Amino acid sequence: MAAKGKELVSVQRQATTNSDGDKTPGEMVGVLRRCIVMPRASSENAERGIVSISGYSIWCPAPIPFEVKATDVIVVRGHEQGVEGVVGDWRN
């Protein structure tokens, strides 16, 4: 049986800066429903010790009604996060 998610994920385009240097919020693209959101963390060795990197892994049921770009910003659990890399299409 496939897992069913219960979370909403908002997707918006990246904020822009106008000619006066003021930031303009990005356009809201849409909301993804029934997503599964899992925190992720990793660590890597650095000169000053171990660095912890965290974020979310998000699985959304198909079909997604709009394109999610690598430059988009998502809002999940009240936090804004940038999309890292290219969005993958994982099917059975």
Other Cβ atoms closer than 10 A to 32: 22
Higher pLDDT, 90 or 10: 10
Q: Is the pLDDT of residue 17 over 50?
A: yes
Q: Please write the tens of the pLDDT for every residue from 47-79.
A: 766 767 678 889 888 888 899 999 999 999 898
Q: What is the 3-state secondary structure (H, E, C) of the chain?
A: CCCCCCEEEEEECCCEECCCCCEECCCEEEEEEEEEEEEEEEEEEECCEEEEEEEEEEECCCCCCCCCCCCCEEEECCEEEECCCCCCCCCC
> So what's the pLDDT on residue 46?
67
Higher pLDDT, 42 or 80: 80
